Structure 1
Amino acid sequence: MTAAAPAGLALPTPLPTPPPPAPVIELVGGRKTYQTGSLSFEALRGVDLRVEAGEYVAVIGPSGSGKSTLMHVLGCLDVLTSGTYRLTGHDVGELDEVDLAAVRNTQIGFVFQQFHLLTSLSAVQNVELPLVYRGLGRAERRALAVEALERVGLGDRLENRPGQLSGGQQQRVAFARALVGGPAMILADEPTGNLDSTSTEEVLGLLDALHAAGRTILLITHEAEVAARAARVVRVLDGLIQEDAR
């Protein structure tokens, strides 16, 4: 029973319950068709996918399954032929090329199989690069880059160039660069593809730690044992999601 308010004193109006946050990824009826002359190929055939904030999802599939096309769409590197893709609640289909570039820089932290580090720059300078494009000042860039490298366990390698680092260390620099701007999600495309078993375990351990810290991670891989580290596995075959389990 709710207590009555004292005479002459009104009870405060309850605050409205805030709406739940939008999913990081919401893909509905996603189709992607490639046209070459009179020939067309449908790489995605009506895909639905939802990823909530803080999830760790692996997308797995063989070559030609549509996995890479799905990654390009989710990373705003390509756009759907039809269907809807919302990233953190925003309809990507309504964005122009300038807006898409801004989304890639601010909302998505990319990590690829190739490390894509500039060999002439130190680790900390490589990590600073996304922040240069945002127009941040030198001191702020450096502080954020150092923090990101410390987060991936490379606080003692700030001034090392890529050639002075192991493959696993270079990939951790790439992760620091992906993290530095505070993106909505980390999109890792075959991040262990060029690594030996020791460095692979190192990187997978880093992904586990980032997930435990609340990061949203989308891992693209063709290796079942790598995908098994994720909390949830999505399988793609012939342009369709065949299984969405765990």
Structure 2
Amino acid sequence: MANTQSPRAGTTPPDSQPVIELVGGRKTYRSGSIEFEAMRGVDVTVNRGDYVAITGPSGSGKSTLMNILGCLDVLTAGEYRLAGHVVADLDETDLALLRNEEIGFVFQQFHLLPSLSAQRNVELPLVYRGVPRAERHRRALRALERVGLGDKAANRPGEMSGGQQQRVAVARALVGEPALLLADEPTGNLDSTSTNDVLALFDDLHEQGRTIVLITHEVEVAERAERQIHMRDGLVEELSLSKAGAR
């Protein structure tokens, strides 16, 4: 592994250091003699406490960008720093550690284990870190209380609504105190009431200083963010204030 500090649990970047620094990001996919450039020199900076929505039509490159930002894929060219770590300098073990410690993921499909209670689902990132059981229980309960589900800790996913399941997923993303909350179409499977509940939760988290990057194709969801990054044909087409950010 190259000379870089290993990520450590609970570390957060100083206020002056961006959580995300992507410079000249390019991603090329190859299939035989065919090449497709999904990202063509993308620059993105997200500072601590920002609330950013990434939007764009199908095929624009926003999903590729999400995978790069989430350390689920690697750049073909350019540089990506997450919480001060040069991602390209990390081997697979430290990259997995970086994902677990610095990124809280929220997905459209919830990805909760149906046989486990809400509390045990929330504990899972801490299990992978080797956090002692009593501390895992305490932190999971606190995370559930933060999303308004302290009274649902013993419930299994099948006993909760879609909106409640997504809030459990948010609690799981928050339990490790990551530098970045990365949400991929988090309201895509929710009805309008549950969508409003989850977006209100993101608003509250943003007000508390959380760094949030949200990928969405829904205009009304993107407008809740502080900033919008619009992608088209593998490029950042515009960087604009949303209506929420303009308030």
TM-score scaled by length of structure 1: 0.92
2:76 corresponds in structure 1 to 81
Counterpart selection for 1:158 from 153, 159, 162: 153
For residues 239 and 94 of structure 1, the distance between their equivalents in structure 2, rounded to whole angstroms, comes to: 25
- Give matches, 1:57-72, under 5 Å: 57-72=52-67
Alpha-carbon contact 2:163-2:195 (below 8 Å) kept: yes
Secondary structure at 2:205's aligned position in 1?
helix
Counterpart selection for 2:128 from 117, 130, 133: 133
Secondary structure at 2:110's aligned position in 1?
coil
TM-score scaled by length of structure 2: 0.91
Secondary structure at 1:215's aligned position in 2?
coil
1:112 aligns with 2:107: yes
Q: 1:139 to 1:78 in 2, by over 3 A?
A: same
Give % identity: 70
**Which stretches of structure 1, 4 residues or more, deviate above 2 A after TM superposition?**
none
Alpha-carbon contact 2:15-2:48 (below 8 Å) kept: no
Counterpart selection for 1:188 from 163, 183, 208: 183
1:236 corresponds in structure 2 to 231
For residues 38 and 93 of structure 2, the distance between their equivalents in structure 1, rounded to whole angstroms, comes to: 25
- Give matches, 1:5-16, under 5 Å: none
1:21 aligns with 2:2: no
For residues 16 and 238 of structure 2, the distance between their equivalents in structure 1, rounded to whole angstroms, comes to: 25
For residues 184 and 153 of structure 2, the distance between their equivalents in structure 1, rounded to whole angstroms, comes to: 25
Deviations 1:46-91 (A, max 9, x none): 0000000000000001110000000000000000000000111211
1:12 corresponds in structure 2 to none
1:142 aligns with 2:137: yes
Gaps of 5+ in 1: 1-18
For residues 66 and 151 of structure 1, the distance between their equivalents in structure 2, rounded to whole angstroms, comes to: 33
Q: Which amino acid aligns with 2:72?
A: L
Deviations 1:128-185 (A, max 9, x none): 0000000011000000000000000000000000000000000000000000000001
For residues 126 and 202 of structure 1, the distance between their equivalents in structure 2, rounded to whole angstroms, comes to: 20
For residues 16 and 82 of structure 2, the distance between their equivalents in structure 1, rounded to whole angstroms, comes to: 12
Shift of 1:126: 0.1
1:221 aligns with 2:221: no
- Aligned residue-pair number: 228
Secondary structure at 2:129's aligned position in 1?
coil
Q: Note the aligned Cα RMSD (angstroms).
A: 0.8
Shift of 1:20: 5.9
1:38 aligns with 2:33: yes
For residues 92 and 37 of structure 2, the distance between their equivalents in structure 1, rounded to whole angstroms, comes to: 23
For residues 100 and 236 of structure 1, the distance between their equivalents in structure 2, rounded to whole angstroms, comes to: 26
Shift of 1:189: 0.2
Deviations 1:29-57 (A, max 9, x none): 00000000000000000000000000000
- Larger mean CA deviation between 70-79 and 94-103 belongs to 94-103
Q: Which amino acid aligns with 1:242?
A: E
